[in-house]
Structure 1
């Protein structure tokens, strides 16, 4: 399975300037939205070991369930939300999503017990439903396929950078115990991270445009080139009747879509097991190694694995952009991450543990942006909206399973070694499935090419006869 790259394709001046303007005007803002999104959904991981678990009387299993129930709410409205975005436009719908989740996130400041925490996490999932696949779909309507991998890599940089910047920031915010009306540090942190979502959601209405023709910052020739390139791609993905192949049925009936969803499940399982429990693992260094860190230091340590992950994400995606995305650009990182994560908790020092976790983080973030170049290569229109949402929906079952299973199994076993082996299993499985998908795709492409060649030969023979 090869995704088209720029090799051998001349790039015009208009194309270069159009893509450069999108990279400056659109991608950073959408990446900022993603930054806030990931910080809001993972803020609970910083709060839990730093006062919330004690104040609310949470067990590891309860924390895991509260973390994961977010994804149940997310899954309920994922596909409908993305279809609504396709109908009403990204500008209005993404703004609605951000403002709604900002309001729900704000309510965590005053949560009093476990049932309230679970209820708010469920509502937060409902509020955020459709944001990530909607952002992916939005970028695909602005950027032709040959440039999409590069743009998605820039967009995806926001996720590791959320931890690089957000972890120390969360630690610093939690040191402000009692600053505002006697709020506990973790409550003050929730208050501060929720407000940007509301502000940026309002700004979204003014900054984003639904399509290139509406952008005043593009020249007319740039608009014409973008619309022509995108229209040509969509036509190639449509049937002879001019409709997206199969519409919604194409997405839900596609074996490729379902296999990609299974691959994504493994990635998300690894990502959220790491995101939700890394601060707790670091908090356990005191008992495991006899080391003590203050809140800001814990935040800085949590950030360490994500800085090299951001660097690897950029250069790995850059290589994929130049070569064209290959199966190994996605499958090899999944394999490396799956094999490395169980090793982390057998290290004999905090530094060695964080170093191995950094390898896992690098692997996960190397694979993710390249993975998302695949679905929009064979789906368009409503089928693309449904397909991307379906992959994200099934994949995000891992977002529920990872924290819940990790919390339950760690409670049973008294540690995180066994849960990390489970993480490793799912990531290795994603690697295997990606290799299988690539092999099957090549086989089908060869079969179609042979059939086309045979049809051409038959037609030629008949014309000569």
Structure 2
């Protein structure tokens, strides 16, 4: 191969920097883009109940408590079925797993238009959680089959930014559907919302066999040399980090640090769903009465949050530092929730506070999983990621329940936001006090010494001292 066409080749690797970067771009455009769209659709189907609430509560006579329980019970189904789903992915592969997940949750989401009572609402939300379980931890596990640790935070940042892009796109779209389709063919606007936002998941599920493959060696759209590049980087990382030790799911179950990490992610999830489920309501309470306008205003914090996720995640990769990035996001996000409570009656200040909260709390997701996937390997990664994710996603049940309780008993969301802010502060302290800095520094030194964030092999590792 002509080195003048591909760039300088480092003496410790047979691959030029340019072809390495081109290989990862090729993988990202195909796999990360597809998973990103899948997560965007998943998040829309998960939180569109926040917009549906603006009409559904009135039409069906649901109280804030009924809505809060229905919004949160999704995560009970998710909790029960997530670990089995991810362990099954290891056995049957990503294609069968993702097809099942996408098609089933799309059908259930569309069938939400038939609910007419609290019991039906609870059952459908529970089933949506059952069928969606496994998508996010499965996607995270799948990406570790393709990307070494030095690229993982930014890739996970792009993937996780789907939840903020879902807000940017979904908020005005949801508002427009509910405003302009209300009454069409005898269906309420919220019924159209569930139907139209459920169909894309089914379509994506049908596309899975044509887009996803289980491992780099199965990818016919990569050349043999491109497959070798991926295998070289992943094998080098496994050797350097000791990841060829095959941890079992039982090892993960017995590791107390797994449960500590689950608490950290639990707090992040509580903060995320405090924003996701209640942002439309808080904007409406600030004086915006038109549903479509509520959707437009909601795009502001989500748009800023998306930029924040990508920038902070990339900075974490460049510095190969996870602890302070993650803890800092938890601290600032908690402070932003306090700001939301203090500025809830002022639309401008509330949007500023929501933007800060979104940019920091949501960024905790990719930073957390970048840290986690460097800690777990083997079967422990498949089961451990799912275990932590499922335990933490109980925060999606706790958060709306706490907020609904606060609104019902006090007439405002203030006490609920203070409680969630305290959880985030504790999570930040847990990361700094209980996650071993030395171990992460050594992991970073080995990883960066092998492959730099831009795909080159470094002679001198560049690390943060944090």
TM-score for both structures, normalised by structure 2: 0.88
Kept in 2, the 8 Å contact 1:177–1:188? The answer is: yes
The residue aligned with 1:12 is 17
- Matching of residues 359-374 of structure 1 within 5 Å: 359-374=356-371
1:401 and 1:9 map into 2 onto residues whose CA distance is 50
Partner of residue 138 from structure 1, selected from 124, 142, 147: 142
Aligned equivalent of 2:78, options 74, 87, 90: 74
Partners of 1:284 and 1:367 lie apart in 2 by 28
Distance in 1 between residues matched to 2:421 and 2:376, nearest whole Å: 31
Deviation string 1:285-344 (CA, Å, 9 cap, x unpaired) is: 23xxxxx43221110112211111111111111111111133111000110111121222
Q: How does 1:49-448 map to 2 (within 5 A)?
A: 49=54, 51-178=55-182, 180-235=184-239, 244-245=246-247, 247-286=248-287, 292-347=288-343, 349-438=346-435, 440-442=436-438
Tell me if the contact between 2:217 and 2:227 (Cα under 8 Å) persists in the aligned partners: yes
Larger Rg belongs to:
1
Is 186-195 or 337-346 further displaced after alignment?
337-346
Which secondary structure does the structure 1 equivalent of 2:147 belong to? coil
Shift of the 365–178 alpha-carbon distance from structure 1 to 2, 3 Å rule, reads closer
CA drift of 1:14 comes to 3.4
CA distance in 2: counterparts of 1:54 and 1:174, whole angstroms? 14
| Contact map agreement 1:79 1:390 (CA 8 A) in 2 | yes
Structure 1 unmatched runs, 5+: 1-7, 287-291, 447-465
Conserved? CA contact 1:108–1:120, under 8 Å: yes
Instruction: Name stretches of at least 5 consecutive residues in structure 2 with no aligned partner.
Output: 1-10, 443-466
Q: Distance in 2 between matches of 1:409 and 1:9?
A: 59
Q: Check whether the contact 1:97–1:131 (CA below 8 A) recurs between aligned residues.
A: yes
SS at match of 2:180: coil
Distance 2:406 2:262 in 1: 25
Partners of 1:295 and 1:434 in 2: CA distance: 40
Match of 1:37 in 2: 42
Q: Distance in 2 between matches of 1:350 and 1:445?
A: 43
* Partner SS for 1:345: helix
Deviation at 1:43, TM superposition (A): 0.8
What SS is found at the alignment partner of 1:304?
helix
Contact 1:336 1:360 survives alignment (8 Å): yes
1:46 corresponding residue in structure 2: 51
SS state at 1:415 partner:
coil
Report the alpha carbon displacement of residue 421 of structure 1 after superposing the two structures with TM.
0.4
Greater alpha carbon shift after TM alignment, 186-195 vs 311-320 = 311-320
- Partner Cα separation in structure 1 for residue 67 and residue 30 of structure 2: 39
The answer to whether the Cα contact below 8 Å between 1:14 and 1:221 also exists between their aligned partners in 2 is no
CA-CA distance at 1:381 after TM superposition:
2.3
Q: Which moved more, 1:264-273 or 1:296-305?
A: 296-305
Q: Give a deviation string over 1:114-135, Cα, whole Å, max 9, x none.
A: 1100000000000111111001
2:72–2:398 CA contact under 8 A, matched in 1: yes
- CA shift digits 1:376-422 (9 cap, x unpaired): 21322211001100110111111110001110121011111111101
Whether the 8 Å contact between 1:268 and 1:399 is mirrored in structure 2 is: yes
Q: Which ranges of 4 or more aligned residues in structure 1 deviate by more than 4 Å? A: 8-11, 235-239, 443-446
Q: Is the CA contact 2:268–2:362 (under 8 Å) kept in the aligned structure 1?
A: no
d(CA) in 1 for partners of 2:418 and 2:278? 14
Q: CA deviation at 1:13?
A: 3.3
The 3 A distance-change label for structure 1 pair 274 and 195 is same
Q: CA deviation at 1:176?
A: 2.6
Number of residue pairs matched by the alignment:
430
Helix, strand or coil at the partner of 1:420 = helix
Distance in 2 between residues matched to 1:194 and 1:23, nearest whole Å: 25
User: TM-score, with normalisation over the residues of structure 1?
Assistant: 0.88
CA positional deviation for 1:20: 1.3
